[in-house]
Amino acid sequence: MIAAADINVTKIEHSKLNEMSLENIPFGKYFSDHMLEADYENGEWKNVEIKPYQPLLLEPSLAALHYGQSIFEGIKAYKDESGNAFIFRPYDNFKRFNTSADRMCMPAVPEEIFIEGMKQLIELDKNWIPDKKDHSLYIRPLMFATDSMLGVKPSDTYKFLILLSPTGSYYAEPMKIYVEEKYTRAAPGGVGFAKNAGNYAGSMIAAKEARKLGYDQVLWTDAFEHKWLQEVGMMNVVFMIDHVAVTPSLEEGTILHGVTRNSIITLLKEMGIKVEERRINIDELISSYKKGLLSEAFGTGTAATVAVIKEFRYKDEVMQLDLAKATTAAALKNRLDDIRYGKAADKFNWLYKI
């Protein structure tokens, strides 16, 4: 068992912050001064340390490069007006990380490394949390297989890392979405619910082709009929239909159990808006649009938080939404921001203080 005191810390001499600004920074481009690293060998976690951010020395035969055993999470930390630092719902991400690990035949990471290591790392790099609206410190825990041999089997060794990346707004403009019918993101029995690297690699060609058509991302459909709606890009999706918030159900295991999704559902109910987690297909969406019942749609995720959708295209059908009616998305984002930046009471106990 790893205790908090067992995490070795090596500090940098001069911070990179002295040479840069944290205003209007792009997502995922810059990283803080330190990172956490741990190794899994002989059935136990060891060599847990916080050290200066640096390259890794890896073998070309690394199992993760050949067989894709790699998972990650996305979490954010914020500062309130008094300068106090908080992580948003880290235990939910901790639980989901180990759910992904189980699906990918990887060992669980203990709380003493994931949560306590994250806390110590952010304490050390607290100054990297921007104190500007729509800015935050993005936290990327990841784990990958490190056996240095070829052969399709679960690795015996793994490396766990936590990286910190200050970031600004992810999606600045409302999105145009292409309804995907050719490519498939996930199917029942697959790994759609796991946050593994392969899900993201497999999605890139659909997004690339959508951008060629003038669209920002795709709305994924099921693998069999290409009718039933799943996620939008790498986010969960919500449709406001006749004053009801409809979001695809998690039951089939093809959709990521989003922490932001769960937060949004909680806030929708707090606002008195009915929420339906159920199957929804593209025909229902088109019918609702033509009847004037589809008032708005938006994606939810850690990176974007709430990303408004202004247009869908399905075959030759184009559905353009009136952004003036996107009041629910705006209210949700404001409510969530008020909680995360300490402007409203955290009555759901979502904030973990550093």
Q: Where in the chain is the domain with CATH 3.20.10.10?
A: 175-335
Distance of CA 313 to CAs 149, 172, 282, 294, Å?
46, 21, 10, 14
- What is the reported pLDDT for 30? 95
Alpha carbon 323 to chain centroid distance? 25
Q: How far apart are the first and last CA of the chain?
A: 23
Please choose, from the candidates 270, 272, 248, the residue with its C-alpha nearest in 3D space to the C-alpha of residue 350: 270
Are the C-beta atoms of residues 294 and 319 closer than 8 Å to each other? yes
What percent of the chain stands above pLDDT 70? 98
pLDDT tens profile 313-328: 999 999 999 999 999 9
Residues 179-201: tens digit of each pLDDT:
999 999 999 999 999 999 999 99
Whole-angstrom Cα distance, residue 254 to residue 235?
Answer: 12
The letter for the amino acid at 1 is M
Q: Does domain 4-169 have CATH number 3.40.50.80?
A: no
Global confidence as pTM = 0.95
| Residue 304: band (very low, low, confident or very high) from pLDDT cuts 50, 70, 90 | confident
d(CA 261, CA 263): 5
Mean pLDDT of the region 101-130: 97
Q: Residue 21: its pLDDT value, please?
A: 86
The yes-or-no verdict on residue 224 having pLDDT over 80 is yes
Label residue 131 by pLDDT band (50, 70, 90). Answer: confident
Say how far apart CA 104 and CA 186 lie, in whole Å.
15
pLDDT for residue 133 is more than 90 = no
β strands within 169-216, DSSP E: 175-179
Q: Write down the pLDDT at residue 5.
A: 59
pLDDT-above-90 percentage for the chain: 91
Q: Is the pLDDT of residue 267 over 60?
A: yes
Q: What is the dihedral of CA 283, 310, 269, 350, to 10 degrees?
A: 130
What phi, psi does 124 have (nearest 5°)? -70, -40
What rounded mean pLDDT belongs to the chain? 95
Q: Mention the CATH class of domain 175-335.
A: alpha beta
Tens digit of each residue's pLDDT (9 = 90 or more) over 1-40: 555 558 999 999 999 998 888 887 888 899 999 999 999 9
Return the DSSP state at 281: B
pLDDT in tens, 272-292: 999 999 999 999 999 999 999
CATH 3.30.470.10 domain span(s) along the chain: 4-169
- The residue ranking higher by pLDDT, 154 or 23, is 154
With 70 as the cut, is the pLDDT of residue 171 above it? Answer: no
Chain centroid to Cα 213, Å, comes to: 26
- Among candidate residues 98, 109, 97, 119, the one with its CA nearest the CA of residue 34: 119
Among residues 169, 159, 148, 135, the alpha carbon closest in space to that of 41 is found at 159
| CA separation for the pair 42, 38 (Å, rounded) | 13
Could you read off the pLDDT of 29-77 as tens digits, one per residue?
999 999 999 999 999 999 999 999 999 999 999 999 999 999 999 999 9
Report d(CA 205, CA 285) in Å as an integer.
25
Burial of 184 (0-12, 13-18, 19+ CB in 10 A): buried
Q: Name the 3-class secondary structure at 102.
A: helix
Res 303: pLDDT: 84
